[in-house]
Amino acid sequence: MVEEAYICGLSWAIKLTEDAVAVNDRLCHGACDKPKREIDVSSMGACEDHVRSTLMHELLHAAVYAGVGPAWPEDEEVLITGIETPWYSMFRDPRNLALFQKFTEGVFEVTLAKQKGKKHARGGKE
C-alpha cells in the first residue's frame, strides 16, 4: 500500500509492506530515502503500534531533511529516537485531535486575523 505525506509542501511516498526493509544490507522496520522522498515501513513481525511508531520515526527523519537538508549532524538517529516516543504519543492521543484539526482547517489563521489590530495581551509586537 502506498500513501502520501506532505512535508513543506513536498510529497513523500509512504510504502507499507509486509516484507522486510533493508538499509545498507541491514534489515530494519523502516527506512527513509531522503533524496527520493520515500519512506518504507515493514509490518513483518511487528504489532500495529510498532508499525505506527516506526512510521512516525521515519516521518521525523523526513521532516529533518525537509528542514535542514543533508547537513544534519551525525547524531540525527539519537535525536530522532529521543523525539519519536513523545511525538508519537502526542499524535496517538485522541484528546489532541481537535487541536490538530484546527491546524489543518486554518482556525488559528482566522483567529489571528481577527486579532489583527488589537494589542497583544502581553504587550508584544504584532
Q: What does the binding site for Zn ion look like in residue numbers (CB under 5 A)?
A: 77, 80
CB nearer Zn ion, residue 72 or residue 125: 72
CB nearer Zn ion, residue 49 or residue 77: 77
Smallest distance, Zn ion to C-beta of residue 31, A: 8
Residue type, 32: C
**Closest Cα to residue 40, out of 48, 51, 26?**
51
Q: What residues are paired with 7 via a beta bridge?
A: 10
Smallest distance, Zn ion to C-beta of residue 57, A: 5
Number of helices (H), then strands (E), in the chain: 4, 6
Smallest distance, Zn ion to C-beta of residue 43, A: 17
Are 41 and 33 contacting, i.e. CB atoms less than 8 angstroms apart?
Answer: no
CB nearer Zn ion, residue 19 or residue 75: 75
